[in-house]
Amino acid sequence: MTFLRVSELNVDEFAEGLSALHLSVSRKKRVPAFWRWCYFTNPVGKSNLTVAVRGGRVVGKYGLLYMPLIVHGKPVVAGFMENISIEPSERSWQCYRRLVEMNIFESQKDNLDFRFGISESSVLNLNERLGVMSLGRPPIYVGILNVARVLEVRSVPHALSLAGWLVQPIFGLRIKDVRSDNLDIRPVESFDSSFDELWSTIAWSRTAAIIKNAAYLNWRYVTPPDRLYRRLAAYRQQRLEGFVILRTIGPRRGSALFELLARDDNPEIMRALLLQASRELGTERIGHITALFPADSVAAAVLKEIGFKPWGTRLWSKHIVIAPNPPRASYPDLNLKNWDFSLGDWTGY
C-alpha cells in the first residue's frame, strides 16, 4: 500500500477510483468530476486530499477541504475534515494513522489556523487519538411536511399511512399562505455582488463562521457537478433581504435546508423565505425537511416557531469537532456557542 497526495495535476487520474471507493463505503454515488470541483475549485483554490493505493486501486482517502472563515472579525483559512473512507478489507489503525499523518504533514505547509468538521459519535474515540476534540452535539431539526408521505416511504401499509392526515395538524409544519408586505421572493440563478453586501451586514455578528459571500455561494450551490439546489432570495424594493437554499435528497423523498440568512437576522424575512420554500416542497410530495443550526440562533427560533422539532439530534448523533493548529488546550473557539453553522457547511450533502 502506498500513500499519495492528490493534486490539481493528477486528480483526474484518481477520480474514477475515488468515486468507486465512495460508493463502496457510503453506498452513495459521486460523479468523477466531483473531486476536482470539491478540492480545487473551492474559494481558497486548493485543498489537501490523501489517498491509499494498492495495486493501482484507491482503497482509502482522507480529505481536508480548505475553507475561508471569519473568526473574531479576522479572515482565516481552516481545513474542513471529511470522514476517512477505507475499504473494509483494508481497515487498520496503521492505515488510518498514515492517511491522517500524511494529510496533516502536508497541510502544515499551508499554515491553516485549525481543522474542523462534523463527526459521527462512533468515531469520537478515534478522533481523540488523532488530536481532534468534540465541541458538542448541534441540534438537528426535522420538519414534517407530509406525515402520510413520511409513513409511506418507511414501508407502512398504504391504508395506515393515510391515517397520517389525522395527525398532520399535530406533527406537521404550519405553513399557511402568509405573505410579508412588499417582499418579493424569487429563484436565484447565480449569486451576484448584492450577496457580498448582504454578507457584510451579517458577518460582524458572527464569532466563528464560514464566509458565505457570493464566491462561496456560487461554488457551493451553483457549480457542483452532481447536485441541484433550490435557491430562493427575498427582495424589498429591489434590495436583497435574505435567501434560503434547499435540496431534495434520496429516494425517500426527504429534503435538507442548507442555508437561511437574512439582513440583520430579521426573523420575519427568514420566516417568509422558509414558508415559501416549504410550500413549494409540499407540492412535490416531499415528506420532511432536515436542518442544522445553532440552538440559540434566530434561524433555529424561526424553525421551531413553524413546527420543526429537534428529533434528529438523537436519531443522527453528530458532533462539531475541532483540532487547533498547533494543538493547544486553550482556544477561543473551543466552545460550540461561539460557532455559527448550517447543514451547508457539511459538503457530504
What CA dihedral angle connects 213, 216, 222 and 228, to 10 degrees? Answer: -110
SS3 at position 173: coil
Could you tell me if 71 and 207 are in contact, meaning their C-beta atoms sit under 8 angstroms apart? yes
pLDDT attached to residue 145: 77
pLDDT: is 96 or 12 the higher one? 12
Domains of the chain: 2-137+318-345 (3.40.630.30), 140-315 (3.40.630.30)
Q: Phi and psi of 310, rounded to 5°? A: -80, 40
Q: How far apart are CA 213 and CA 211, in angstroms?
A: 6
Q: How confident is the model over 269-284, as pLDDT tens digits?
A: 999 999 999 888 877 7
Task: State the average pLDDT for the chain.
Answer: 86
Q: How confident is the model over 95-108, as pLDDT tens digits?
A: 988 998 898 888 88
pLDDT attached to residue 147: 60
What is the 8-class DSSP label of residue 172? B
Summarize the confidence of residues 150-165 as an average pLDDT.
50
DSSP codes of every residue in 301-343: HHHHHTT-BTTHHHHS-EEEEEEESS--S--TT-SGGGB---G
Q: Is the pLDDT of residue 327 over 80?
A: no
Summarize the confidence of residues 68-75 as an average pLDDT.
91
Query: Which helix (DSSP H) or strand (DSSP E) does residue 114 occupy?
Result: strand 114-120
Largest Cα–Cα distance of the chain, in whole Å?
A: 64
pLDDT: is 250 or 324 the higher one? 324
pLDDT: is 105 or 34 the higher one? 34
Whole-prediction pTM value? 0.90
Could you tell me if 63 and 42 are in contact, meaning their C-beta atoms sit under 8 angstroms apart? no
Q: How confident is the model over 309-320, as pLDDT tens digits?
A: 888 877 777 888
Identify residue 163 by its one-letter amino acid code: A
Distance (Å) of CA 211 to CA 84, 151, 204, 327, 340:
25, 38, 11, 24, 11
* 239-249 β-sheet, strand order: 140-144, 288-292, 254-262, 239-249, 230-236, 184-187
Q: Which of 348, 347, 349 is nearest to 43 (CA)?
A: 347
Residues paired with residue 6 on neighbouring β-strands, in sequence order: 49
Q: Which of 318, 321, 311 is nearest to 343 (CA)?
A: 318
